[in-house]
Structure 1
């Protein structure tokens, strides 16, 4: 088994920063899920810094998209397959109101998905 080399014990680079700059670097490193050292090394080497927030936003978008799929499937079922559904409890106005509410929920979910995508 070969010994893996590490950075610990090697030559550090001292960077002189103002307290507010240090705080900003610490905040950005935390948002990226990295130590300050790893964050500065990645930036200095020109490596892209992907943040934990980006991954969380993508997961939120996946959940919203799944909700849209479920709502769309439910709406399609209501509109195309009424002989298999128990619609006896709904009058025409009640069914229309339910479908309109589902459409509102779909539009709200689409707006939320667009907002999350814009934030990235």
Structure 2
């Protein structure tokens, strides 16, 4: 049964990015649709489980948008205006609606990385 999940680690402080705002979007040829907005829990994950469950999974283009600057400012980090990284978008495709897609983010105010997790 397919599903989509995410997890964010704050590499500046060495902890999960608790409280970071995340937006999941579906990218269509002519428009972008917001599917879900959420705030990450104490473990840097979605409290409600998968972002898309087996019934919601569909082949297509998607985008996760992570509010990195707002998260670090809320933690007391002084960032320039504009911040080097504000929102971090990760565009990805779901080719198999029955597959498990995990999109983790490792983030600091100055760098980020991602990969397809398990």
Normalised by the size of structure 2, how large is the TM-score?
0.22
Higher percent of residues as strand: 2
Q: Using CA pairs below 8 Å that are at least 6 residues apart, which structure has the higher relative contact order?
A: 2
Normalised by the size of structure 1, how large is the TM-score?
0.22
Higher percent of residues as helix: 1
